[in-house]
Structure formats: C-alpha cells, structure tokens
Amino acid sequence: MKIIEWAQKMSVQVAEIDDQHKKLVEIINAAFSIENPSENRKKFEPILNDLIEFTRVHFSTEEKYFDKFNYAEKDEHIEEHLKLIDAVLKFKDGFDSGKCDCEPFLSFLRDWLAEHLLKMDQKYIECFKANGLE
C-alpha cells in the first residue's frame, strides 16, 4: 500500500529535483510497507539508511542551487532541512539502541515531506526558473 503519492501539484518544475522527490516518496513507502518493523529490523534498517543517505543528497542538491542563485529564503529553508535531518538521526539513534517506535516516525516523515513539497519547496520555483533551471 502506498502511504504517500507524488502528485503533479508537488512539482517544482525542475526534472532533477522532481525525480529526487519521487525517490524520497518511494523510500518512505518502502519503509511503510514493512510489517512489524520492530521484529523485522533487518529489513527496516537498510531502508532507514537509504533514507538518511538520500535525504542528504537531496538537501544538498537544493542547497547548492540556493547558493548558486543567491536564493533570498535560503536560511529559513536550510533551517527546515536541518530540523528534519536532526529528527531522522534521533530516530536512528533510538533504532540502533533497540527502540523502534516506527509508526509515529513514519507518519511524521510522510506529513513533513508532503507539507515541505507543497509549501517550502514551491517557493524557490520562481528563483530557479529565473536562473534558467529546468
């Protein structure tokens, strides 16, 4: 079952970034698809690692363009990215020490991503377009 679906209204009109967003959606769905993660830690762990790694790749892609184009709302945006990375690493720490409160974490992640794509990421479209990115 898909828990989150990428939708056209989430598009930031840049193929490279839309593809990364789709991949994040895919990783979250893969995590959700594991039943009883606390008993299936071996299956859950690589997905969690993928999530951490790919989130970093994605955020640094956006932030590279913020720098390049001198994006006005760069600081607020990076702040939101940092908060998410923090939350994910905190969860990972707990997971590594044997805890797995996975459901609330995944729900948080799903809501965070949907909201971020629909609001925060939409704001840079104009700037990225003005700088010729597509």
By beta carbon distance, the residue nearest Fe ion is 121
How many Å is the maximal CA-CA distance in the chain? 49
Under 8 Å CB-to-CB from 82, ≥6 apart: which residues? none
The secondary structure of 34-92 as a DSSP string is SSSTTT-HHHHHHHHHHHHHHHHHHHHHHHHHHHHTT-TTHHHHHHHHHHHHHHHHHHH
CB of 59 to Fe ion, least distance (A): 7
Q: Which of residues 37-66 bind Fe ion (CB under 5 A)?
A: 62
CB of 99 to Fe ion, least distance (A): 28
- How many residues belong to the site for Fe ion (CB under 5 A)? 2
| Of residues 54 and 92, the one with the C-beta less far from Fe ion | 54
| Of residues 62 and 109, the one with the C-beta less far from Fe ion | 62
> From the list 121, 123, 126, 130, which residue makes contact with Fe ion (rule: CB under 5 A)?
121
CB of 28 to Fe ion, least distance (A): 13
- Output the CA torsion sign for 69, 73, 78, 81: negative
| Of residues 30 and 125, the one with the C-beta less far from Fe ion | 125
Q: What six digits make up the tokens of 9?
A: 């209204």
* Site of interaction with Fe ion (CB under 5 A): 62, 121
